[in-house]
Amino acid sequence: MRNVWLVLKNEIFVTMGRPSYWIMTFIFPTAILLLNIGIQVMVTRTIADEIEGPGGLGSVGNSSELQTVGYVDPAGWIARQPDGFPEGLLVEFPGEEQAQAALQAGEIRAYFLIAEDYVDSGDLTLVEPEFRPFGRTRPDLITWLIHYNLTGDVELAEALGEPVAGVSSQRLAPAEENSRPDNFMLAFYVPYAVLFVFFFLIIMSSGFMLQSVSREKENRTVEVLLLSLRPRELLMGKILGLCAVALFQMAVWGGGGLLLLSQGGAFIAALNDVQLPAGFALWAVLYFLLGYLTYAAMMGAVGALAPSAREGGQFTFLILLPLMLPLWFTYPLIEDPHGTLATIFSMFPLTAPTAMLTRMAAAPDVPLWQVLVGLGLLSATAYGFMLLAARFFRADTLLSGQALRWGRLLKELRGVEN
């Protein structure tokens, strides 16, 4: 047991002493968070520019920062402007040639051509100096002004432009037990975040196992270690040490997420629509630990057979393929958490660590028996792979420099079975 403890401490100190570990623990999730915040800020600014910019609904009352927009109105639909309308915001031109000349001279940002039969056709043509599909001048202001001239009333003109602006909805029938919350996007992204976080936690933590074993084989440290401890003690110490490192990483990600949520009152209020089942944190830890043990054991077995990390990495995709399936089938997994596909993924041991937690985040009424059965199958699988990895951790495999090929892998598996 003392040897296991020494290996455990060494794995913790070595792994946490790498800059790459701290990058993945702090900088990587922070970068993703800042990227998402940046996208949100850009979207918000774009919407604000559309509203407050020339031709936007909020252009009235903020004319100091606006550029002039012209219009050509041969039928004379615009005969007057309401009180308080900013002077110089809209300029009328007698013809399109004059408007085009002003546009080329930079005197106006754009101009509109109002059809003579506007009331019947609603045709309004926008002319700008360059093609701008995302930042074009909006016709809201010019159409509002035409509506004002037709009706003579400001409020009626606004109602014609957006007739259902003040409509509110009221649910008459009680919500069904398994119905989606009103905020569907939030109901989708919460389980998706759970899937994303636990997927990366498991693949990163189990990947440390392959790196550790392969590195010690490459620098021949394993030859010295096997002189003072048994291979299974080496395996157990590595798995437990890297498990502690992974739990710390999980705590940092989870604690950081809760801290950020605590600073967003509006988001917390919206989370009332998304209810996680009782004891979700406990289930998350159990499924994560067993998922880690399962995949770390497989990575350790490959590391024991492969002469280098590069050759062992060739088998990584095959090992992690089952864990990727829930990520590929995210939408049906979250959209129908009680469906056949979601149930199979959450019960199958190699996909259960992420699929079951995603189901529980998407639907808090997942049957308890399914959660327990999935956990039991995952426990048996983790135990089986631990025994398998222990048999691969032999002196002849750890000290061997033979290339890892499919033939050798099958031969070693048959040798274990015998």
Question: pLDDT tens digit string along 207-224?
Answer: 777 777 777 777 667 666
Q: Is residue 313 part of a domain?
A: yes
113 and 187 in a single domain? The answer is no
How far apart (Å, rounded) are the C-alpha atoms in residues 103 and 295?
65
* Position 54 pLDDT exceeds 60: no
172 in any annotated domain: no
Q: What is the domain range of residue 140?
A: 53-161
Q: Which residue has the tokens 């600014």?
A: 45
Confirm whether pTM is higher than 0.85. no
Q: How many domains does the chain have?
A: 2
- Residues contacting residue 234 through CB under 8 Å, at least 6 positions apart: 7, 222, 225, 226, 393
Query: Which pairing describes strands 69-72 and 90-93: parallel, antiparallel, or unpaired?
Result: parallel
**Mean pLDDT value across the chain:** 74
Confidence check: pLDDT of 202 > 60: yes
Q: Is residue 47 assigned to a domain?
A: no
Q: Are 12 and 100 contacting, i.e. CB atoms less than 8 angstroms apart?
A: no
SS3 140: helix
DSSP code of 24? I
Q: What is the C-alpha end-to-end distance of the chain, expressed in Å?
A: 29
Task: Write the pLDDT tens digit of every residue in 333-374.
Answer: 888 888 899 899 999 999 999 899 888 888 878 888 999 999
| Statement to judge: residues 230 and 351 lie in one domain | yes
* 60 and 32 housed in the same domain: no
CATH number for the domain spanning 130: value is 3.40.190
Amino acid 343 reads: T
Same domain, 25 and 82: no
Is the pLDDT score of 29 beyond 50? yes
Cα 207 to Cα 215: distance, rounded to the nearest angstrom: 12
Contacts of 41 (CB under 8 A, 6+ apart): none
Domain annotation covers residue 31: yes
Report d(CA 210, CA 53) in Å as an integer.
56
Between 141 and 397, the higher pLDDT residue = 141
Q: Are residues 219 and 329 in the same domain?
A: yes
235 and 135 housed in the same domain: no
Measured CA to CA, the distance from residue 318 to residue 190 in angstroms comes to 28
Confirm whether 399 is domain-assigned. Answer: yes
Cα separations (Å) of 220 from 228, 366, 398, 399? 14, 49, 10, 8
Q: Is the pLDDT of residue 324 over 80?
A: yes
